[in-house]
């Protein structure tokens, strides 16, 4: 396999992982979000489900282009198996918000780095997605803070769900950062520090302090 | 032989008849159409959507194709969807803005 082919293969792997997670998040936002804590939360969850599924469609179609698929793109019936297990296992509002926040925050860190590179064609594909995703992150972040300040076992359960989701997302970021092919192709700088940036963003949530203060 | 660029004003006008399925505003006034080129009976439309997750993409593209194919000289329509520059409300035409205002939709 040539260097160029390896780079394309790695890019497809990256995009499919992101698409799979968005596909699963979209599905979970409908299944779990439909019985959200209040009407506003439910309506927002359904709207965001459409957003996440739209992002997944964009990324899958991009992968089809990279794979050389011509003409009408195939229908997407299922994820390719790269979605995080914590996202697949989302069964309630607490784990939904934890996954929505952790996954989109991790994806945002990767895409923000790619946007700063000279890959203008790549940047033009994701610009709109990144803008829309920002709204999803704000929503999840505000719900996260609300859950951390909730009553009874909720703050602890959320903290635990977030820890699990964040652990998986951070491990993925560390793996992505090691991809020599993506660096060689100029998608990332030599040391993008993805896990560190992710950790920093999580700290902004102040989860531990909020729970301890309860 | 070098292809001659054709005045595309009539196609812009034609697409003013294609409505966004969610609002009674044409795709032109919504600012979704970025460019139209015509060469040897083939019309190339460069366009965007208000959101990546727009649920009406196939519907809108089909309406655009059908309307342009109604022009006698048009044999094929190719649609290229782009996300850069990203759509914002700034792309609404003054007419589109007025219509949204009439329907009580904020365009700020």
- Here the CATH number for the domain that contains residue B29 is 3.30.300.130
Decide if pLDDT at A1 tops 70: no
Q: Find the mean pLDDT for residues B60-80.
A: 96
* B87 touching A (Cβ < 8 Å): yes
A27-54 confidence digits (pLDDT tens)? 999 999 999 999 999 999 999 999 999 9
Q: How many helices (H) and strands (E) does chain B have?
A: 3, 3
What's the pLDDT band for B2 if we cut at 50, 70, 90? very low
What's the pLDDT band for A6 if we cut at 50, 70, 90? confident
Which residue, among A43, A22, A179, has the nearest Cα to A108 in the 3D structure?
Answer: A22
> What distance in Å separates the CA atoms of residue A56 and residue A66, rounded to the nearest whole number?
15
Decide if pLDDT at A3 tops 50: no
- How many CB atoms are closer than 10 A to CB A31? 14
Could you tell me if residue B4 is inside a domain? no
User: What residue numbers bound the domain in which B92 lies?
Assistant: 9-102
Q: Cβ neighbours of residue A205 under 8 Å, at least 6 residues apart?
A: A101, A141, A144, A145, A148, A162
Peptide bond into A200 cis (omega under 30): no
- Which has more confidence, A70 or B73? B73
The single residue listed with the structure tokens 């009407």 is A39
A200: tokens are 């920093």
Domain boundaries, chain A: 3-69+84-212
* B22 touching A (Cβ < 8 Å): no
The pLDDT value given to residue B108: 72
A52-68 confidence digits (pLDDT tens)? 999 999 999 999 999 99
What's the pLDDT band for A78 if we cut at 50, 70, 90? very high
C-alpha triplet B100, A132, A148: angle, nearest 5°: 115
ipTM of the complex in this document: 0.70
DSSP secondary structure string, A180-195?
Answer: HHHHHTTSS-S---HH
- Which chain A residues have a beta carbon less than 8 Å from that of B52? 51, 54-55, 57-58, 128-129, 132
Q: Cβ neighbours of residue A115 under 8 Å, at least 6 residues apart?
A: A123, A126, A127, A130
Could you tell me if residue B107 is inside a domain? no
Is the Cβ pair A58, B52 closer than 8 Å? yes
Q: Find the mean pLDDT for residues A132-154.
A: 94
Decide if pLDDT at B77 tops 50: yes
* Interface-testing mutation among B50, B53, B56, B62, with chain A (most A C-beta atoms within 10 A): B53
Decide if pLDDT at B4 tops 70: no
CA distance B6 to chain A (A): 26
* B43 touching A (Cβ < 8 Å): no
- Which has more confidence, A136 or A73? A136
Which residue, among B36, B44, B35, B38, has the nearest Cα to B3 in the 3D structure?
Answer: B38
* B90 touching A (Cβ < 8 Å): no
Could you tell me if residue B1 is inside a domain? no
Q: What residue of B is the nearest CA neighbor of A59?
A: B52
The pLDDT value given to residue A54: 93
- Which chain B residues have a beta carbon less than 8 Å from that of A52? 53
> What distance in Å separates the CA atoms of residue A67 and residue A63, rounded to the nearest whole number?
6
Q: What residue of A is the nearest CA neighbor of B54?
A: A54
Is the Cβ pair B83, A129 closer than 8 Å? yes
A82-129 confidence digits (pLDDT tens)? 999 999 999 999 999 999 999 999 999 999 999 988 788 888 899 999
Is the Cβ pair B52, A53 closer than 8 Å? no
The pLDDT value given to residue A214: 62
> What distance in Å separates the CA atoms of residue A45 and residue A34, rounded to the nearest whole number?
7
Q: Which of the following CATH numbers is that of domain A3-69+84-212: 3.30.2450.30, 1.10.3720.10, 1.20.1260.10, 3.40.190.150?
A: 1.20.1260.10
Number of domains in chain B: 1
Q: Find the mean pLDDT for residues B34-59.
A: 93
Between strands B42-47 and B76-81, the pairing is parallel
Decide if pLDDT at B1 tops 60: no
Tell me the average pLDDT of chain B. Answer: 90
Decide if pLDDT at A14 tops 90: yes
C-alpha triplet B77, B94, B12: angle, nearest 5°: 20
């Amino acid at each position: 396999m040539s260097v160029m082919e390896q780079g394309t293969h790695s890019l497809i792997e990256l995009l499919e992982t992101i698409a799979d997670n968005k596909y699963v998040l979209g599905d979970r936002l409908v299944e779990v979000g439909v019985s959200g804590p209040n009407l506003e939360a439910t309506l927002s969850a359904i709207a965001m489900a459409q957003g996440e599924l739209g992002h997944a469609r964009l990324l899958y179609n991009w992968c089809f282009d990279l794979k050389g698929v011509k003409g009408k793109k195939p229908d997407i019936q299922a994820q390719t198996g790269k979605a995080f297990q914590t996202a697949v296992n989302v069964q309630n509002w607490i784990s939904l918000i934890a996954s929505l926040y952790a996954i989109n925050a991790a994806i945002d860190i990767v895409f923000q780095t790619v946007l700063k590179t000279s890959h203008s064609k790549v940047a033009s594909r994701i610009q709109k997605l990144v803008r829309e995703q920002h709204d999803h992150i704000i929503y999840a972040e505000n719900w996260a803070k609300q859950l951390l300040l909730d009553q009874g076992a909720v703050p602890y359960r959320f903290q635990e769900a977030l820890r699990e989701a964040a652990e998986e997302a951070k491990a993925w970021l560390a793996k992505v950062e090691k991809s020599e092919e993506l660096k060689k192709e100029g998608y990332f700088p030599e040391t993008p520090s993805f896990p560190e940036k992710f950790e920093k963003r999580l700290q902004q949530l102040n989860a531990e302090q909020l729970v301890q203060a309860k | 032989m070098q292809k001659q660029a054709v005045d595309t004003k009539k196609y812009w006008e034609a697409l003013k008849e294609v409505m966004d399925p969610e609002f009674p505003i044409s795709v032109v006034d919504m600012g979704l159409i970025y460019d139209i080129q015509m060469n040897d009976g083939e019309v190339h439309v460069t366009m965007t959507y208000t959101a990546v997750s727009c649920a009406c993409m196939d519907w809108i593209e089909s309406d655009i194709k059908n309307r342009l194919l109604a022009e006698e000289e048009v044999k094929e329509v190719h649609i290229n969807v782009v996300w850069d520059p990203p759509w914002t409300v700034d792309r609404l035409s003054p007419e589109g803005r007025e219509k949204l205002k009439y329907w009580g939709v904020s365009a700020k």
